[in-house]
Chain A
Amino acid sequence: GAGVSQSPSNKVTEKGKDVELRCDPISGHTALYWYRQRLGQGLEFLIYFQGNSAPDKSGLPSDRFSAERTGESVSTLTIQRTQQEDSAVYLCASSLAMTPGELFFGEGSRLTVL
């Protein structure tokens, strides 16, 4: 597809379970971001990948959160031992290196932790 693709679009899980969210960026985009948006809140930065540089993980809220990216393609965000406060929409975005601020967002993965 032409845009950023995220899966699953919706995920309901029980507290304590692990979840994995996937992001397929636009082909050729070297930068990839993960954000989350809790209900009624703004965009919370989680992690940023840029090419082969070390990722900026400064936004990950705890060691239960991790993310990987394979080269300049797919990224997965993993949340271990989910908690109710992890419930949010998780947004992935990608951008070209020459237009680093102009992000293309996916539609998000809505996570509900019961």
Chain B
Amino acid sequence: DQQVKQNSPSLSVQEGRISILNCDYTNSMFDYFLWYKKYPAEGPTFLISISSIKDKNEDGRFTVFLNKSAKHLSLHIVPSQPGDSAVYFCAAKGSTLGRLYFGRGTQLTVWP
């Protein structure tokens, strides 16, 4: 059962424009959400997170938005750069659930 869903396997954006990656979840017990970035032949690296008590968290060019009522979160990257091209994984965790649940990932390609 896929409790964290990334329905877009790929996204292509021109350099300088905004990239919006989406993620949906089904488990209402999730209270902490994260985004990871993965380059080929490397392990994923933590990018940004948000607690369920917030609806927005910003870190430089990266902003994560959380809509708890819709069980939806999104990652905005602005402006997008070619170096942002990678697979982005959404992840979620509940304080009583133990492990982290990952989505299947979205391949972002930023072209010049």
Contact = CB atoms under 8 A, between A and B. Distances in A.
B8 interface: no
24 contacts: A4-B43, A33-B99, A33-B100, A35-B102, A42-B89, A42-B102, A42-B103, A42-B105, A43-B105, A45-B100, A50-B98, A91-B44, A93-B43, A100-B93, A100-B100, A101-B49, A101-B91, A103-B44, A103-B100, A104-B46, A105-B43, A105-B44, A105-B45, A106-B43
Interface in B19-55: 32, 34, 36, 41-46, 49
Interface centre among B49, B91, B98 (most CB of A within 10 A): B98
A102 interface: yes
A103 B46 contact: yes
A105 B38 CA distance: 10
B104 interface: yes
Nearest to B97: A56
A48 B99 contact: yes
B1 to A, nearest CB: 11
